[in-house]
Amino acid sequence: MRLSQLTAVAGLVAALALAGAARAETKVELKSVHLCCPGCTRAVGDILKKLDDVKGTCDQKAGTVTITAKDDEAAKKALQALADGGFHGDTGNKDLAIKDDSGATKGKVEKLTLTGVHNCCGRCNSQLKEAIKKVEGVKADTAKSKADTFEVTGDFEASDLVGALHKAGFHVKVKK
């Protein structure tokens, strides 16, 4: 009788340990990511492949990237790596989100140089320019496909420009 009780307890402990390990996995869906072409999805895949304990899939049509990570910390590293690669999106989770590390400040500017954007093709560039034009006070930009740095001129709010680019799925930083 004691052996069967010990076996049952050991089985319960093992089941709880496995359930705990399964719960530690973190899954995040990043929505509204700029994924206009196979080059964009390939770039996201290449970024995520370099990370330990992270797997990712892109749905180009839906504009989503799904990240499955060992834990929250690995998921945060994956989100930061995507931002560093020029991609932005919304997770719907304030604890697991791409942070605004653009360096843009409140207040109007006449010129702003932005860098780090993913802009692999003419379609990327077209959508980038479309987002820029939506910002009140913007007069011109120097964005060109395959270039990750560009300048925007006019009389506009820097934070509005960055917000518009984030909304369009692009992540940028203000060049100092």
Mind listing the pLDDT tens digit for each residue in 103-117? 999 999 999 999 999
24-99 and 108-174, same CATH topology: yes
Give percent of the chain above pLDDT 70: 87
Helical residues (DSSP H) of 50-171, grouped into ranges: 72-84, 122-133, 158-167
H/E run at residue 4: helix 2-24
User: Encoding tokens for residue 121?
Assistant: 């093709």
Q: What is the pLDDT of residue 18?
A: 52
Per residue in 142-161, pLDDT (tens digit) is 999 999 999 999 999 999 99
Q: How far apart are CA 76 and CA 90, in angstroms?
A: 13
Q: For 116-126, how does the pLDDT look when each residue is reduced to its tens digit (9 = 90+)? A: 999 999 999 99
Sheet holding 138-141, edge to edge: 138-141, 149-157, 108-115, 173-174
Distance CA 84, CA 171 (A): 8
DSSP string, 7-75: HHHHHHHHHHHHHHHHHH-EEEEEBS----SHHHHHHHHHHHHTSTTEEEEEETTTTEEEEEESSHHHH
The CATH number corresponding to 108-174 among 3.40.47.40, 3.40.50.150, 3.30.70.100, 3.40.640.10 equals 3.30.70.100
Give the domain ranges of the chain. Answer: 24-99, 108-174
Angle at the Cα of 144 from the Cα atoms of 142 and 145, rounded to 5 degrees: 160
Structurally, at CATH architecture level, domain 24-99 sits in 2-Layer Sandwich (3.30)
Question: Could you tell me the end-to-end alpha-carbon distance of the chain, in angstroms, rounded to an integer?
Answer: 74
How high does pLDDT run on average in the chain?
Answer: 91
Model confidence at 176, pLDDT cuts 50, 70, 90, reads confident
